[in-house]
Amino acid sequence: MERPPTMPQPPTTSQATTARHGQRGLFSLRGLFSLRGLGRDAAVASICGFVVVLMLGASYAAVPFYDWFCRTTGFNGTTQVATSAPSGAPLARKIAVRFDANVGPGLPWKFEPEQTEIEVRIGEVFTVFYDVTNLSARETTGQAAYNVAPLTVGAYFQKINCFCFTDQTMAPGEKRQMPVVFYVDPALAADSDNDGLSTITLSYTFYPMRETAPKPVAASEPADKRKGNL
């Protein structure tokens, strides 16, 4: 005889409880992995933000750092700044120093050295002059940049006084003498790489500086005076 088909039995209480716990555990794992994913994304975003800030800071610091590096080491022909003359006596060795002058586009100045070349003893303090003339009929302002050649000599060329990196404002047609006080550091003689050095060239270039626009006459007059003119 055939057995009658068995009817599906409803889950027991223990089975239902186990199923509910299984679902809760699955949801908990999903939530945990979701939180972990959010934490990982936040960490990656924080690291990326830190890298961007670091790169921006490095870009802003690069210019002053490069300027400091050049002034400290004489790299790229940057001369050194001295506060006083060397303590020892000048050496017997002599070097020719040439002087070069240039004017950048847009600056109507005549700029030239009084002497194009002199011979100096190493360690001896010298003063030379550059002549500057404003050829225009208006007030103009310029600023000089400089370097020396060969580029490796920058660390030994010491300037006590100079007109460079300072705004120079010239009246219409004005003529002016600008001094440079310098010496060649005696340490140069101990540098074997410069044993054959016989000539140093000091070069200046004046560049135009942006001029401030003059205030209108009406704006500069007192209010009472303007009312009286009406």
Residue 225 has pLDDT above 80, yes or no: no
Residue 123 has pLDDT above 90, yes or no: yes
Which pLDDT score, from 0 to 100, does residue 87 have?
80
Question: Which DSSP string do the residues of 1-48 spell out, in sequence order?
Answer: -PPPPPPPPPPPHHHHHHHHHHHHHHHHHHHHHHHHHHHHHHHHHHHH
Residue 176 has pLDDT above 60, yes or no: yes
Which pLDDT score, from 0 to 100, does residue 164 have?
84
For range 175-201, the mean pLDDT: 93
CATH number for 80-208: choose from 3.40.50.300, 3.30.70.920, 2.60.370.10, 1.20.120.550: 2.60.370.10
> Mean pLDDT, the chain, as a whole number?
74
Please state, in angstroms and rounded to a whole number, the distance separating the CA atoms of residues 118 and 99: 9
> What does pTM read for this prediction?
0.59
Tens of pLDDT along 29-49? 455 445 455 566 666 666 666
Tens of pLDDT along 128-164? 999 999 999 999 999 999 989 998 898 899 999 889 8
Which pLDDT score, from 0 to 100, does residue 35 have?
46
Which pLDDT score, from 0 to 100, does residue 5 have?
55
Tens of pLDDT along 80-112? 566 667 888 899 999 999 999 999 999 999 999
Q: What are the structural domain ranges in the chain?
A: 19-73, 80-208
Please state, in angstroms and rounded to a whole number, the distance separating the CA atoms of residues 38 and 31: 10
More confident position, 228 or 176: 176
